[in-house]
Amino acid sequence: MRIPLKLRVLLAGLLLFPAASVSFGQVPENDPYLKFGVRLSVNADYKIRKGLHLSGETELREGKDILSEGYFQNSVGLSYKVSPYFKTAASYTLIGKRTSLSSYNFRHRGNVDLTASLPYGSWKFSLRERFQMTNRPGEMNRYQNPRNLLELKSRLKEEYSFNKRFSQYSFIEVRAALNKASLTGYHYDAAQHKYVDGQSNSVGEPGWFFDGYGDCYFNRIRLCLGLEYERNKRRTYDFYLYGDYYNNLKIDASSDGTALKSLVHDRYYKITPGISYKYSF
């Protein structure tokens, strides 16, 4: 069976990215593994006036197994097209992660986007920079995650219109975490298979130390292939496939900061097909 060129590019990109990923020094690494997901979303877009749009979206994602609900996201946003070549946007998202049959953990997310576009005949090329902040309300372990996680997403996208109804697109997006928890002074004893007291700090206290939220590294790369079908001026269907490579430092520490239980360089791939429906007013 012949594999389409763009799918081959997608798979090759996922295989090559680990060579460029961040090294976490002496931290043990897991062997990269493969996960699967699915996404379904419904969007509404309302044109307030020329260039200014109000939008809303509801999205469902898989849970522990691919057929169960694990996440939902409800978003509302405002975008303004300054010129044919430049657009700005801002949005708010409520994220709910199911923890049991009837309960969720919630997070709040804000995004600010700047997008530069260049149309060229039936082609369109764009570069989007997205600054994102995700807030974790309620109780949390501050030695593992910041209360407000800051991330920067950079996306390079190409689109090609076959006709008035069908268009294809692909993009690559790199996400950088800007304020992850930083640890110093830890030492992994391979013989004991655990973390032991390492270096001493400035006042001679042994052990590992929480050093604020100064870690910054690329934690995900996303490759995407997509096809849009515009049934009419109001209804649009979007079919896409995400190929992700995740690269994270997983910290398991006691909530009082007295013990570092584990520290792992967690790496995995994820393949996610999705369908989105948009209605424009």
pLDDT digits 0-9 by tens, 233-269: 999 999 999 999 999 999 888 888 777 888 888 999 9
More confident residue, 263 or 275: 275
Please determine, for residue 50, whether its predicted confidence score (pLDDT) is greater than 70: yes
Can you give the pLDDT at residue 154?
A: 97
CA angle (153, 159, 161) in 5-degree steps: 155
Work out the pLDDT band at 128, boundaries 50, 70, 90: very high
Q: With the C-alpha atoms ordered 228, 157, 35, 219, is the resulting torsion angle positive or negative?
A: negative
Lowest-confidence pick of 7-11, 130-134, 221-225: 7-11
**Inter-residue contact 278 to 44 (CB < 8 Å):** yes
Question: Higher-confidence residue: 113 or 12?
Answer: 113
Question: Which pLDDT belongs to residue 5?
Answer: 54
Identify the pLDDT of residue 188: 65
Tell me the average pLDDT of the chain: 85
Residue 5 host element (H or E): helix 5-16
Backbone angles phi, psi at 201, to 5 degrees: -85, -170
CA geometry: angle 129, 51, 274, nearest 5 deg: 55
Distance separating alpha carbons of residues 244 and 148, to the nearest angstrom? 23
Is the pLDDT at 217 greater than 90, yes or no?
yes
Half-sphere exposure of 58 (CA within 13 A, CB side): 2
Q: What is the pLDDT of residues 173-190, one digit of tens each?
A: 999 999 999 887 776 666
pLDDT band at 203 (very low <50, low <70, confident <90, very high): very low
> Residue 272 pLDDT > 50, yes or no?
yes
Specify the pairing of strand 260-280 against strand 235-253: antiparallel
Per-residue pLDDT tens digits for 7-31: 555 555 555 455 444 556 567 788 8
Confidence band (pLDDT; 50, 70, 90) for 6? low
What pTM value is reported for the model? Answer: 0.85
- Please give the average per-residue pLDDT across 141-148, as a whole number: 93
Query: Where is pLDDT greater, at 32 or 189?
Result: 32
**What would the mean pLDDT of 68-90 be, rounded to a whole number?**
92
